[in-house]
Amino acid sequence: MSDKPTEAAACDRPAEFEPKIVAFVCNWCTYLGADLAGTTRLEYPSNVRIIRLPCTGRIDFNLIIKAFEIGADSVLVSGCHPGDCHYTSGNYHARRRWILFRELLGALGFDLGRVYFTWISAAEGHKWQEVVKEITEKTRQMGPYTSLYQSPSAGVGATLVVAPEGGHKGRPYDAGVWGGEAELREACRRLLEEGKVKVVIGYGKRGPVFVTRPEDVEQLVWNDRCLANLTVYLKRKEIRALGRPAIVVKGCDERALVVLEKESQIDRKEMHVLGMACQGLGEAKCESCDVHMPRFADEVIGEADQHPAETGERWKSLQALLALPDADRMSYWATEFERCVKCYACRQVCPMCYCERCLVEKNRPTEIEPSATAKGNFAWHILRAFHLAGRCVGCDECTRACPAGIDLRLLNLSLAKAAEEHFGYRAGMDPKAEELIGAYSLQDKENFIR
Amino acid sequence: MSATISQAALRELVGGLIAQGKRVAGPCEVKPGCVLYAPLVSSAQLVLEGFIRPANSLKEFIFPKHEELYGYRITGQGIELTEVEPLRAEQVLIAARPCDAAALPILDRVFNWDYKDELYNSRRQLTTIVTLACAAHDDACFCTSVGLGPAAERGSDALLLELGGGEYEVRCLTGKGKSLFDGKLQASERVASLPSGPEKRFEAAVVRAFVKENLESPFWPAQTLACLGCGACAYTCPTCHCFDIVDEGNIERGVRARNWDSCQFALFTLHASGHNPRPNQPSRQRQRIDHKFRIYPEKFGEILCTGCGNCARNCPVGMGVLRVVATLESSASGSAR
């Protein structure tokens, strides 16, 4: 870094602060634009470190996080103008991802004033000069990025008033029976007896049960303790080995089937889906539930329309979080993540987390630090949340499973909200809809890209 | 005759310790409905009633989830190592559950077996543990099945027993406990009655015999199908102590650290060749029970379980040691018949 104090720094900021800016740029346009700026002798601050990648479509969101972790004060991502991508559509894919990722960064309390996106072509040496000058100047005025992963100085005590732990905690197991239990058992007995299925994946008194014999259907229950999203078992080898399954789903769980089929993880023809009309489990998600009647099941069992009317607006629980100033929002998460022990229950219960080997388990090289430190925990939760962007069906199993009581649903909600607001998309609602990530539209909004 | 302390005086004592700069941790409602052992910044945060037990375990104050062992720096000449600062801060763990405290003498054995673990031992020495006898239990509790009870004294420096009316009987069990409560106790005629514990649910000896003889039994796949392979049971268990050693840093410098690890993860036993001797969840669940009820007792003479029930309460699919072991016992006695 240059030691020469610049004019702006000479005003009232301490002279020693020189912003560090990391720029992830596309090889085919911005990199050449920056090169052009150099060969035409345009002067611009030396605070920017350029990292060249083949395409903005290849810029992993983790790189932005990593840049901040190792001390960047601002990050710039720059690629080809729409229509100019060397690989036809890499920048469109990137644009869609950045729209969502910015929302996640916002929900986590990152300072979005430090994340810049631009389109700069190989001919725009002047634009590169302007952009770098402007970012350097703005960052200099903002000062060093010190609030990253900072927990509040007062120790324990998040400032956010949050919803209490899910209503299921402390509720007795034998709370009662919902209408449809007998019918469900009968349907399962029939399916097993007729040999239509080899196993029923259903709810037992204390958790999931796998019924393989008609005489064991009495193990199945249907009540307000039927919390788990059983679709998670469809991908598990031990369960698959049992043969063709029948699976018990609630309307919310069923959305996972839609996504899993879309992603070619399951074949709906290879299973029998028993949809249960749900009366609401008393969880936060149930307040704004509009899928209490399963829509795609092979048969629907239970009393229709016993579910209380929606009382909550879908993003209600997000409001308190989003109302906080950035730094407070980040310190809220820092306090929450301090309790994370990295047991990965959030991942294991998630029907959408079906990777054979999770990125966090790769160590050559290490992408996500396995330690349960502020850095490692933020990196993990950002990874988990963003890999579920446009895929999370909002079953809230991650939140229910967390032994540390971390409200992971808020991160999922922030992305679901972004998907709905920007793209009118809700995961698992419409089997015909194009996936959110993996597709793009020329109309995707880009008012944050210069 | 007994020595007693009022709840107000206990809180005052805690406040005083915090003011002295000691690290004080105890049950704390970190958010509505979620009680965890956590460092306390004020005595008002200490929660003494209204919950069964914290959802995490006390071990994280002695054997933290992440601990730096030493630092390194790669220079042109080679590698420089830097020692971590020796631990000096005293800590007091207050209102711990007897099932948490009892785990520590059990852990002492493995941390001082072939290698004396300095970090663990110095934390142990710097820690005073005040337990509060359990006034209530739920259907996940099974301390009485592993030889403990709601007022077990093992591992505690002092034990508090509720007398009612905001008073506690204090039994100082060690020098550390005595000096902590020195001058703070009242003499009283009241003596606490021993709280009732959960019903005994199984015989540990039967479990041990079963796992020894039924390593390949179809019992394991049948009973553990629901397990999703997370580490919630192991990480909230007071006795699970497996760890992994990692290097974290960049090309110039970094740290070598140890992190908690769990036998429930697929990577735990994965060989470099790609072979995994415990290839599926039933074999990993079996290992967990085997280690707790056979391997550890054979090696160290103690069951590696204090019956706290955290594994069951934290399991997202309602499993846990008790559920597996209780079904195992019935199938063991079934096969004997």
> For residue range B212-264, what is the model confidence (pLDDT) as tens digits?
999 889 999 888 999 999 999 999 999 999 999 999 888 889 999 999 999 99
Measured between alpha carbons, how far is residue A3 from residues A20, A137, B306 in Å? Answer: 13, 16, 61
Q: Which of A342, A350, A375, A397 to mutate to test the interface with B (most CBs of B within 10 A)?
A: A342
Measured between alpha carbons, how far is residue B12 from residues B181, B233, B262 in Å? Answer: 12, 35, 39
In sequence order, what are the residues at sequence separation of 6 or more whose Cβ sits closer than 8 angstroms to the Cβ of residue A185?
A217, A218, A220
Inter-residue contact B263 to B284 (CB < 8 Å): yes
The reply to whether residue A347 touches residue B230, judged by beta carbons under 8 angstroms, is: yes
The CA distance from B35 to B47, in Å, is 8
Contacts of B240 in chain A (CB under 8 A): none
Whether the CB of A403 is below 8 Å from some CB of chain B: the reply is: yes
The reply to whether residue B280 touches residue A237, judged by beta carbons under 8 angstroms, is: yes
Contacts of A400 in chain B (CB under 8 A): 316
Inter-residue contact B276 to B214 (CB < 8 Å): no
The reply to whether residue B65 touches residue A342, judged by beta carbons under 8 angstroms, is: yes
Which residue among A339, A371, A400 sits closest to B248, beta carbon to beta carbon?
A371
The reply to whether residue B280 touches residue A342, judged by beta carbons under 8 angstroms, is: no
Q: Which of B228, B251, B285 to mutate to test the interface with A (most CBs of A within 10 A)?
A: B228
The CA distance from B149 to B133, in Å, is 9
Contacts of B228 in chain A (CB under 8 A): 232, 236, 345, 348-349
Which residue among A237, A339, A344 sits closest to B36, beta carbon to beta carbon?
A339
Whether the CB of A210 is below 8 Å from some CB of chain B: the reply is: yes
H helices within A177-264, ranges in order?
A: 181-193, 237-240, 251-262
Round to the nearest angstrom and report the end-to-end CA distance of chain A: 26
Chain B residue with minimal CA distance to A372? B66
The CA distance from A257 to A235, in Å, is 11
Separation in Å, CA of A103 to nearest CA in chain B: 25
The reply to whether residue B226 touches residue A169, judged by beta carbons under 8 angstroms, is: no
The CA distance from B324 to B328, in Å, is 6
* Chain B stretch 130-159, residues whose beta carbon is closer than 8 A to a beta carbon of chain A: none
The reply to whether residue B39 touches residue A404, judged by beta carbons under 8 angstroms, is: no
* Chain B stretch 259-288, residues whose beta carbon is closer than 8 A to a beta carbon of chain A: 259-260, 262, 265, 267, 280-282
Q: Which of B18, B31, B270 to mutate to test the interface with A (most CBs of A within 10 A)?
A: B31
- Predicted confidence at residue B132, as pLDDT, reads 96
Chain B residue with minimal CA distance to A201? B226
The CA distance from A97 to A62, in Å, is 12
Whether the CB of B327 is below 8 Å from some CB of chain A: the reply is: no
Q: Residue A150 corresponds to which tokens in the numbers above?
A: 């900072």
Q: Residue B272 corresponds to which tokens in the numbers above?
A: 């470099």
The reply to whether residue B230 touches residue A401, judged by beta carbons under 8 angstroms, is: yes
User: Mean pLDDT, to the nearest integer, of B26-55?
Assistant: 92
The reply to whether residue B28 touches residue A156, judged by beta carbons under 8 angstroms, is: yes
Separation in Å, CA of A345 to nearest CA in chain B: 5
Q: Name the stretches of chain A with pLDDT < 70.
A: 1-15, 153-175, 311
Q: Residue A356 corresponds to which tokens in the numbers above?
A: 């054979």
Whether the CB of A365 is below 8 Å from some CB of chain B: the reply is: no
Q: Which of A225, A348, A361, A366 to mutate to test the interface with B (most CBs of B within 10 A)?
A: A348
Inter-residue contact B29 to B14 (CB < 8 Å): no
Vertex B303 angle, CA B301 and B307, to 5°: 155
Separation in Å, CA of A130 to nearest CA in chain B: 33
Measured between alpha carbons, how far is residue A424 from residues A259, A416, A433, A438 in Å? Answer: 16, 10, 11, 16
- Predicted confidence at residue B193, as pLDDT, reads 85
Whether the CB of A228 is below 8 Å from some CB of chain B: the reply is: yes
The CA distance from B324 to B302, in Å, is 20
The reply to whether residue A372 touches residue B65, judged by beta carbons under 8 angstroms, is: yes
Chain B residue with minimal CA distance to A373? B66
Contacts of B282 in chain A (CB under 8 A): 238
The reply to whether residue B248 touches residue A209, judged by beta carbons under 8 angstroms, is: no
Q: Which residue has the tokens 């290879």?
A: A270
Contacts of B259 in chain A (CB under 8 A): 342, 370-372
- Short-list A31, A21, A18, A20, CA closest to A58: A31
Contacts of B267 in chain A (CB under 8 A): 361
pLDDT surpassing 80 at residue B332: no
Which residue among B28, B40, B225 sits closest to A238, beta carbon to beta carbon?
B225
pLDDT surpassing 80 at residue B309: yes
Round to the nearest angstrom and report the end-to-end CA distance of chain B: 51
The reply to whether residue B221 touches residue A238, judged by beta carbons under 8 angstroms, is: yes
User: Mean pLDDT, to the nearest integer, of B100-104?
Assistant: 97
Alpha carbon A137 to chain centroid distance?
Answer: 33
Helix, strand or coil, per DSSP, at residue B282: helix
Confidence of residue B336 (pLDDT cuts 50, 70, 90): very low
Which residue among A341, A342, A349 sits closest to B228, beta carbon to beta carbon?
A349
- Predicted confidence at residue B249, as pLDDT, reads 86
Which residue among A162, A341, A401 sits closest to B235, beta carbon to beta carbon?
A341
The reply to whether residue A361 touches residue B267, judged by beta carbons under 8 angstroms, is: yes
Contacts of A404 in chain B (CB under 8 A): 34, 36, 55-56
